[in-house]
Amino acid sequence: MITIKNERELRSMRQACKITAAARALAGEMVRPGVTTREIDKAVREFIVAQGAKPSFLGYHGFPGSTCISVNNTIIHGIPGGYVLKEGDIVSVDVGALYEGFHGDCAATFACGAISTEAQKLIDVTKQSFFEGIRFAKRGNRVQDISHAIQTYVESNGFSVVRSFVGHGVGRQLHEEPEVPNFGNPGRGPRLVPGMTLAIEPMVNAGVYDVKVLKDGWTTVTADGKLSAHYENTVLITDGEPEILTVTEGL
């Protein structure tokens, strides 16, 4: 069932999303050669707790980290650990925070020092594809209008969108209905109505869209070993333009 949030619920959710966005920014500032993914995870966890919130991911279906940190050919669900970031890496950080019963969810891919031209293009296209998609996140449109716009932009730039994992509704639960694919035909899926909150998250591969989940049951990598990038915000459907909730203003 798709949940519609009222103004009281949105007040809590906006704060959850501000905390989440600030945690993403903190993680991005820490991405530099010599830092371990565990150090980033620890700093993000401590920040979220200091804001009076809880990390959404910690313990979620047994996930051991407060953030998913996915490096280079890891698409999503990278487990923070002893990996030492090095010059040229691209680092996707996905984070969520639970505040007053509501979740925020966002992600971005950051450059570690100087990166290749192709890697930078991948990051830029992935982020822009989100903005191409939310042009259609308006009352009366359908979910796959967003999906189709993302796919069209990504593929026009020579990359592919992951199909095994998709965006989703978010609110009292970290993952709610509806699913928000990053591919599909326009005019399909649930109709968008004000009060819907969606985690729209293009996951874009430099090569094929096929994925492989490693033995830990979490870490998901590109099947061909090529780079992947991720960009996500929590978005509110309104009577007018969509509102990106995962912003840090006013925290």
Q: pLDDT digits over 49-92, tens only?
A: 999 999 999 999 999 999 999 999 999 999 999 999 999 999 99
Question: In this predicted structure, what is the pLDDT of residue 250?
Answer: 58
User: How far, CA to CA in Å, does 180 sit from each of 35, 82, 99, 225, 231?
Assistant: 33, 33, 23, 25, 14
Distance of CA 5 to the CA centre of its chain: 21
- Residue ranges per domain, the chain? 7-244
- Do 167 and 133 contact (CB within 8 A), yes or no? no
Question: In this predicted structure, what is the pLDDT of residue 248?
Answer: 79
The residues that bridge with 125 in the sheet, in sequence order, are: none
* CATH number for the domain running over 7-244: 3.90.230.10
The residues that bridge with 243 in the sheet, in sequence order, are: 236
Angle, CA 162 vertex, CA 140 and CA 128 arms, to 5°? 60
Q: Is the pLDDT assigned to residue 184 strictly greater than 90?
A: yes
Report the predicted TM-score, pTM, of the whole model to 2 decimal places: 0.97
Helix (H) / strand (E) element for 111: namely strand 102-111
